[in-house]
Amino acid sequence: MNNKINTVLFDLDGTLIDTNELIISSFLHTLEHYYPNQYNREDVLPFLGPTLRETFEPMDATKVDEMIATYRKYNLAHHDTFVTEFPTVLDTIKILKEKGYKVGIVTTKISDVVMKGLKLTKLDSYFDVIVALDHVEKAKPDPEPIFKALEQLGSNPDEAIMVGDNYHDILAGKNAGTKTAGVAWTIKGRDYLDQFEPDYILEEMADLLKILEGSSHEKH
């Protein structure tokens, strides 16, 4: 594949903005309410990435909507206390825009909370498209959200790269036929992402610029 990459799609949580502590705290609050003294921090780490429904439904299908509502209420109330951007993210996104790249977000979060996080970290004016959970039938790792973003951007998979911190992001990119980049700052650890064989691993977001400049040369 020799096509030059002109489109960059990002996951949001754990990739562009550090929502890890907010998400962990929200899960612990919710699970403590429904299952007192049964879950700790390590137990909820696997829940970062999948949709809330995918996480809560196996626990109790009759209470899944109630649990999602409990989670979201707490999450919104504590959002601005916890959320920050990761280092070099804002500068990298600005440079991508200046250089004419098409940039988008593909996330399993609902759109109103996406905008809350982007505004808080001053990233809200940079993205050409945002595909959130409420915009699709199937979430990542299904390729539908990536295809939707590419269609809105007028891009093809072979000229795009999907950047994320979770296996959902890497597999969604592979399923859609894009290049993939994992972020070494994933809370689950670099070794975790390596097993899904992304084309690249970013030590910091600015590494993306070097990769795009030498688009055809693969390196880890």
Which helix (H) or strand (E) is 183 found in, with range?
strand 179-183
On the question of a cis peptide bond just before residue 141, with omega within 30 degrees of 0, the verdict is yes
Q: Of 29, 71, 33, whose CA–CA distance to 50 is shortest?
A: 71
Q: How far is Cα 172 from Cα 212, in angstroms, rounded to an integer?
A: 20
Is 165 annotated in the active site? Answer: no
Q: How far is Cα 31 from Cα 24, in angstroms, rounded to an integer?
A: 11
Q: How far is Cα 210 from Cα 103, in angstroms, rounded to an integer?
A: 16
Compute the C-alpha angle 150/6/201, nearest 5°. Answer: 95
CB contact at 8 A, 175 and 157? no
Measured CA to CA in angstroms, residue 192 lies from 59, 63, 99, 172, 184 at distances of: 25, 31, 32, 16, 10
> Which residue in 11, 165, 169, 207 is the catalytic one?
11
Q: How far is Cα 195 from Cα 186, in angstroms, rounded to an integer?
A: 13
Q: DSSP H helical segments within the chain, as ranges?
A: 20-34, 41-44, 52-56, 64-82, 89-98, 111-120, 144-153, 167-176, 190-194, 207-213
Give the active site residues. Answer: 11
